[in-house]
A and B are shown apart, each in its own frame.
Chain A
Amino acid sequence: MLRGEFTVKSVTAATGAQNKSYPDWLHRGVCAALSAMGVQQPYAHQVNAWNTLYDGENLVIATPTASGKTLCYNVPVAHALLSDDSARALYLFPTKALARDQESSVRKLLALCGLDAKAAVYDGDTPADVRRAAKKSANVIISNPDMLHAGILPHHAGWAQFFSRLRYVVVDELHQYRGVFGSHVANVFRRLDRICRFYGARPKYVGCSATIGNPGELAKKILGHPVRTISQSGAPTGKKTFLMYNPEVVDPVMGTRASAFRTAAKLAADLVQRDITTLVFCQTRRGVEIVLHYLRDRVRVEGDVQEVIRGYRGGYLPNLRREIESDLRDGRLKAVVATNALELGIDVGELDAVLLAGYPGTIAATHQRAGRAGRRQHPSLSVLIARSTPMDQFLAHHPAYLLEASPEQALVQPDNVEILLSHLRCAAFELPFGDVECFGTVLVTDSQAALSVLADEGILKKSGERFHYVANGYPAADVNIRVTMAQNVVVYNMTDNEPLADVAAHSARFELHEGAIYQHEGSTFEVTRFDPANAKAFVQPVAPVYYTTAVDQTRINLLQERRHRDIASSTLFCGDVEVLENVVGFKKIRFKTHENLGYGDLSLPPLTMETEALWLRFHPSITQSFNPATAALALDGIADALLQVASLRLMCDPRDIALSVQTAVPEGGQQTHWQPVVYIYDTHEGGVGLSERAFDEMELLLNDAMALVNGCPCDEGCPVCIGPPVSKDQTGVKDAARTILALLMGSARLGNEVCN
């Protein structure tokens, strides 16, 4: 029945708990409450966390799912409240659902401690009267960064009492704050820090993160304070089996494999028939409904299939979600098919098996979701089902990447000029900005220069020794921390006028131009109208024999080279560039044969932005053994592969970075002087540090790219590795790509990696 293959089997043996006794200094009330909760012997990492905070240090905890992170911060807060009942704490979660979930657990602990202290959610859904009460009297405010940014900090005078008594700031799911979002959040914390200083408070920061490669670095950048990292978990784990399943190839030309949804449904049905409680994760809401449909169709169990197999996703009403959560906890359900709505910290009790229909995009999220299986000490199973996407296929062939300690780096660039300027504007609105005042780690000379820019724009006015906000309006309302400056383009299905998807503004120009074939969850659409000014695109379902690729003339102007180093005989640079993207037309290409069926002209306005980039200039010796046409195609392919693996390593969406290849042979056509260049740049204005990190990790990326190319079963390239062949009779390009990669990696690595 299953014709694909299990490519990975990894078994992690059970580990015992490492316990410690309560620290001496811990208030008796808290000890009693912990005992009442059945925590006689806290885990070692919990006690370490408490001691760290007690010693006055900031902290980031990066231990796996279900290791009791909540107690790491709830206990010190309860302890603080027992000694000072006017103390305040701020908890921030990335989603509202998670905030509600945590509200009850904090309240429970506070009540067990015999405290009269209040914990209250304060977010966009909180009614006005509850808000007033929470602001005035809640000891623990549970909110999200958006609310802090737009609702609390600009009105800090109304929170004067809260800020002056603030003892702890807890930031859960820290790894969610990366890229542009994280860079914004880091600046929100810089503003929080100013306000705290104004009210004379020096709160301690506690961050919690999934297992990522750089929790300490990320926490330091986001929170703006030095932190101590605790990543060794003392919680016991059961025997864990992790499998990766790669469905069979159904279309060798396009590299398409059987649907991950159907496969997930088949596997889940098998598990459910064996009475194993199973949780299936899908990437999208629609995926949930598809798997749910297949699964309910296949399963023969006692009782109503509709009742024991449930879906769980955003869009379900909160009450229904709570009901499903509690049914799952109480063992009344056989299977749940969910989106990441269920991923974040929500307690659903013990599950035997977790299926992931497709790679969730990061290793951290994979671990987090797989961690749902086998809470506490029971043996558990998790299976990752690969889709046809390059990332999924790379992982299917390179399990080590998933199984090693997570090497992913969560990156933020709080000093991105546009982001920084927008938050300086908000900061000056909150408090006039002094001329020797620092803003997080920004140098005073830098922040003063940035403030002068705002003053020149008439937003601030230097009066006395301080910059005052003098413009009309409410700057926080103009800064949406969840998106970049450019708005996402919403794709509307014209048959029902419902929004179908949203696409980052940058990619939209390539994917949603008029006449483009847009693929969405296995269906194909043709774009009938693209309206970049209003960030909308309209599509109609079609069944074409071709797909489209945009033809762009991207020009890159070097603004400032910052660093460079040698990679074999070639040179790698990083610095600031200006990118001029001009999508001039598109090609229609027949499926399978790759015949060019036609060309369409486009007249989209060119896009100019300043951003950060890395560029690799190939030495002539690397390409000289190929004919230039083959070499150019091979370099295109290598760039494609690099882009894919870079998005994995950099923990970003593939659309957060883009590439441009300059393979034009110089005047005179002498190949001996030919120095083609591959650029990889951040697609966010100003950059968020992705390309610079890629510069540092280039050896690793080349290694990964080689592995991707080697692991792909195609003959002459496919969308999964170096991109599909440009013509039917293309030969030697994939080999050339392999050889060039090997040359770049140097001979020592060649032996090591190519043979694997």
Chain B
Amino acid sequence: MSRLQGKLARRRKRTETDKAQDAGVYENSHKEMEAYQLDVASGTPDLIGTTDEMAGVDPQPRDSGTLAETAGGSKSEIIAQLQRRMEKIQRKKVKAFGTKNRPSAPMGAPSITPMGTMIDQHSPIEPASPKSDRAKEVVESPHQDISTHGLEGPLELTLHKDALIPGEVMDTPMGEVWRNRKRYPGWFHGNGAVDRYLAVGLSMAAFAKDDRLAQLAPEGALFIDTETTGLSSGAGTLAFLVGCGFFEDGVFMVEQYFCREPVEEPAQLEALSHRLANAQYLVSFNGKSFDMPLINTRYILNRMKNPGYNLPHLDLLHVCRRIFKRRLSDRSLQNLERVILGFHRQGDIQGALIPEAYRDYLFGHGEAQIAAILEHNLLDIVALAALAGRLDEIYSDPAAVAHAADHLGLAKEAFLAGETEIGDLHLAAADDMADGDDRRIALHMQAREALRRKAYGQAVTLYHRVLEIDEADVDAHLQLAKLYEHRLKDFDLALHHAKEAAALEGEAAGERRVLRIEKKKVKKGLRKW
């Protein structure tokens, strides 16, 4: 045995000794342990690792039976160590929550409820294959499955490892990967039709600030979303699940590529390559700074070419941030889906729990959690497509917009893209609809647009309308002062507004303006004279 191995062995033995001292406690808390495992399996949020635990130490209990089998029974030390760990965590939890406060399990069960239970009548489910039928069947009684799994750990080994996960094995030149396909003909996500996306116009190019998109057909879009082992962008974060949404023969369809083991990554990327190579552009939510760089890293690490490297990319996160800035403080996809599409998820797995759930699965339990993650990812992609369609709808048809604040956001998008007609339409609509502050802002935007077009008379009118709403609007006074001074050469009015602005602002710059206009006024008077 080498010196290092000696040290490693002693390191293990140390923990072993600790364990021996605590052995009694383990026996006593065995029942508690089972209850805890149940909680973990059902994803009760407050029982799963805190951030410090995630940082270095494994916070998850391991099932001894599972390990004994996988390790071939030869690593009793390891099992002992893990049992000790498990028991230690258990003690910590008991201390933290007390037994009587334990939330009744399984609360917050993962959303393995199939789509059918939470959709409108006119959204039929159409199973892609008999295979997913089977998956559906298993999945529809989730609570029982979880309990069985949690209470009788060793039992799960008798089940097929992926019995609870919808989909099937896909063969690629790079090996096997798990694939799940689902079709969404005539699908409504809340009140948003997924197929609406097929009618999108130039808005996508405007939103993406990328003219290349104007040339591309809606059918060329690839909606993409990944589920990862962490949030860092480093080389060690795996995208264990990549979901792709696309239109095939006019029907929206999602394909998911899932790595049952990290070793399946090359096959997963190979499958993804096929999708990327057929896509004209990407649509994502935060994919520009997260998903696509991560996918690119995965390609590099596997020495594979990334066919999606330079594709045009519409990131709806940025678009929604801009459009709904004034109305929504929470602009996450889930909230947008609720507010904009009226879709309410039930029992969806929390994003923060996904990395741990996958790790659990890798170590031998938690297929139900994976099924929930697949479902979560499906919902995200469908929401993405429906949301993109809705954005186009409200952008190109002001009548479809229900909130003045949204008009302002959309108008801004339009002006930024140079589509002034659409911008004007939204502002006019906002002007009609809004009152108070939103209206004032709409008028300001219209006036700025008028200034840009050098329609000075119109700008003056608009600024006066601003002052009708709020006579203390410094910006309006300043703009009017400038317009009267430089454009309309009416120094009396210029002076009036400059003085108003200076009085409101109390700034030296304002006073300089007043002085300058007074001088000009005198000059003009002299000339006249």
Q: Does A400 contact B (CB under 8 A)?
A: no
Quick check: B363 and A449 within 8 Å, CB to CB? no
Quick check: A559 and B229 within 8 Å, CB to CB? no
Chain A nearest Cβ from B416, distance in angstroms: 22
Among B57, B60, B238, contact of A468 (Cβ-Cβ < 8 Å): B238
Among B75, B82, B232, contact of A473 (Cβ-Cβ < 8 Å): B232
Closest to B293 in A: A158
Per the CB 8 Å criterion, the residue count for chain B at the interface is 44
Quick check: B54 and A429 within 8 Å, CB to CB? no
Chain B nearest Cβ from A83, distance in angstroms: 27
- What mask results when residues 14 to 39 of chain B are scored 1 for a CB within 8 Å of chain A, else 0? 10000000000000000000000000
Quick check: A160 and B234 within 8 Å, CB to CB? no
Chain B nearest Cβ from A117, distance in angstroms: 25
Q: Which residues of A contact B229 (CB under 8 A)?
A: 469-472
Quick check: B235 and A431 within 8 Å, CB to CB? yes
Provide the bound-state CA to CA distance between A415 and B7, in Å.
Answer: 10
Q: Which residues of A contact B356 (CB under 8 A)?
A: 472
Provide the bound-state CA to CA distance between A469 and B56, in Å.
Answer: 12
Chain B nearest Cβ from A275, distance in angstroms: 53
Closest to B303 in A: A198
Quick check: B235 and A154 within 8 Å, CB to CB? yes
Closest to B77 in A: A456
- What mask results when residues 665 to 687 of chain A are scored 1 for a CB within 8 Å of chain B, else 0? 00000000000000000000010
Quick check: A474 and B4 within 8 Å, CB to CB? no
Quick check: B2 and A576 within 8 Å, CB to CB? no
Provide the bound-state CA to CA distance between A446 and B234, in Å.
Answer: 26
Among A158, A453, A472, contact of B54 (Cβ-Cβ < 8 Å): A472
Which DSSP category, helix, strand, loop or mixed, fits chain B's interface?
Answer: helix
Q: Taking each of A428, A458, A559, A560, which has the highest tally of chain B beta carbons within 10 Å of its own beta carbon?
A: A458
Quick check: A471 and B54 within 8 Å, CB to CB? yes
Which residues in chain A, 444-469, are within 8 Å of chain B measured between CB atoms?
445-446, 449-450, 453, 456-459, 461, 463-464, 466, 468-469
Closest to B296 in A: A157
- What mask results when residues 231 to 248 of chain B are scored 1 for a CB within 8 Å of chain A, else 0? 111111010000000000
Given A160-B300, A417-B11, A686-B7, A471 and B235 contact (CB-CB distance below 8 Å): no
Q: Which residues of A contact B487 (CB under 8 A)?
A: none
Among A442, A443, A458, contact of B363 (Cβ-Cβ < 8 Å): A458
Closest to A456 in B: B78
Given A155-B234, A473-B56, A446 and B2 contact (CB-CB distance below 8 Å): yes
Q: Does A257 contact B (CB under 8 A)?
A: no
Quick check: A453 and B11 within 8 Å, CB to CB? yes
Quick check: B4 and A446 within 8 Å, CB to CB? yes
Among B81, B231, B236, contact of A475 (Cβ-Cβ < 8 Å): B236
Provide the bound-state CA to CA distance between A638 and B56, in Å.
Answer: 43
Q: Does A697 contact B (CB under 8 A)?
A: no
Q: Does B369 contact A (CB under 8 A)?
A: no
Q: Taking each of B7, B78, B82, B262, which has the highest tally of chain A beta carbons within 10 Å of its own beta carbon?
A: B7
Q: Which residues of B contact A559 (CB under 8 A)?
A: 10
Closest to A155 in B: B234
Quick check: A472 and B230 within 8 Å, CB to CB? yes
Q: Which residues of B contact A478 (CB under 8 A)?
A: 55-56
Q: Does B5 contact A (CB under 8 A)?
A: yes
Quick check: B8 and A449 within 8 Å, CB to CB? yes
Q: Does B130 contact A (CB under 8 A)?
A: no
Provide the bound-state CA to CA distance between A562 and B4, in Å.
Answer: 12
Q: Which residues of A contact B234 (CB under 8 A)?
A: 154-155, 429-430, 474, 476
Quick check: B4 and A473 within 8 Å, CB to CB? no
Among B8, B235, B359, contact of A472 (Cβ-Cβ < 8 Å): B359
Q: Does B72 contact A (CB under 8 A)?
A: no
Q: Which residues of B contact A560 (CB under 8 A)?
A: 6, 10
Chain B nearest Cβ from A194, distance in angstroms: 11
Q: Does A287 contact B (CB under 8 A)?
A: no
Provide the bound-state CA to CA distance between A473 and B356, in Å.
Answer: 11
Chain B nearest Cβ from A162, distance in angstroms: 13
Among B57, B78, B362, contact of A470 (Cβ-Cβ < 8 Å): B362
Quick check: B14 and A473 within 8 Å, CB to CB? no
Given A430-B236, A446-B2, A449-B8, A472 and B300 contact (CB-CB distance below 8 Å): no
Q: Does B58 contact A (CB under 8 A)?
A: yes
Q: Which residues of A contact B2 (CB under 8 A)?
A: 443, 445-446
Q: Which residues of A contact B233 (CB under 8 A)?
A: 155
Q: Taking each of A461, A468, A470, which has the highest tally of chain B beta carbons within 10 Å of its own beta carbon?
A: A470
Q: Does A156 contact B (CB under 8 A)?
A: yes
Quick check: A429 and B8 within 8 Å, CB to CB? no
Chain A nearest Cβ from B367, distance in angstroms: 16
Q: Which residues of B contact A156 (CB under 8 A)?
A: 235
Quick check: B359 and A471 within 8 Å, CB to CB? yes
Among A157, A457, A461, A477, contact of B262 (Cβ-Cβ < 8 Å): A461
Q: Which residues of A contact B54 (CB under 8 A)?
A: 471-473
Q: Does B62 contact A (CB under 8 A)?
A: yes
Provide the bound-state CA to CA distance between A559 and B359, in Å.
Answer: 36
Among B5, B14, B301, contact of A445 (Cβ-Cβ < 8 Å): B5
Which residues in chain A, 243-259, are within 8 Å of chain B measured between CB atoms?
none
Q: Which residues of A contact B6 (CB under 8 A)?
A: 560, 576
Quick check: B8 and A470 within 8 Å, CB to CB? no
Q: Does B403 contact A (CB under 8 A)?
A: no
Provide the bound-state CA to CA distance between A532 and B7, in Å.
Answer: 27
Q: Does A656 contact B (CB under 8 A)?
A: no
Q: Which residues of B contact A457 (CB under 8 A)?
A: 57-58
Among A154, A429, A461, A472, contact of B362 (Cβ-Cβ < 8 Å): A461
Closest to B261 in A: A463
Q: Does A172 contact B (CB under 8 A)?
A: no
Q: Which residues of B contact A430 (CB under 8 A)?
A: 234-236
Quick check: B355 and A456 within 8 Å, CB to CB? no
Q: Which residues of B contact A473 (CB under 8 A)?
A: 54-56, 230, 232
Q: Does B12 contact A (CB under 8 A)?
A: yes
Q: Does A610 contact B (CB under 8 A)?
A: yes
Q: Does B455 contact A (CB under 8 A)?
A: no
Chain A nearest Cβ from B310, distance in angstroms: 16
Provide the bound-state CA to CA distance between A549 and B422, in Å.
Answer: 82
Q: Which 9 A-B pairs have the closest CB atoms?
A: A429-B236, A464-B263, A458-B58, A468-B262, A154-B234, A157-B297, A469-B236, A463-B263, A472-B355
* Residues of B that sit less than 8 Å from A by CB: 2-8, 10-12, 14, 54-58, 60, 62, 75, 78, 81-82, 229-236, 238, 261-263, 296-297, 300-301, 355-356, 358-359, 362-363
Instruction: Give 21 A-B contacts (CB < 8 Å), ordered by A residue.
Output: A417-B4, A428-B236, A430-B236, A443-B2, A458-B359, A458-B363, A459-B58, A461-B262, A461-B359, A463-B261, A463-B262, A464-B262, A466-B263, A468-B262, A471-B229, A472-B355, A472-B359, A473-B54, A473-B56, A473-B230, A562-B3
* Residues of A that sit less than 8 Å from B by CB: 154-158, 160, 415, 417, 420, 428-432, 442-443, 445-446, 449-450, 453, 456-459, 461, 463-464, 466, 468-478, 559-560, 562, 576, 610, 686
Q: Given contact pairs A430-B235, A443-B4, A453-B12, enumerate 4 new A-B contacts (beta carbons under 8 Å).
A: A469-B236, A470-B229, A471-B230, A471-B359
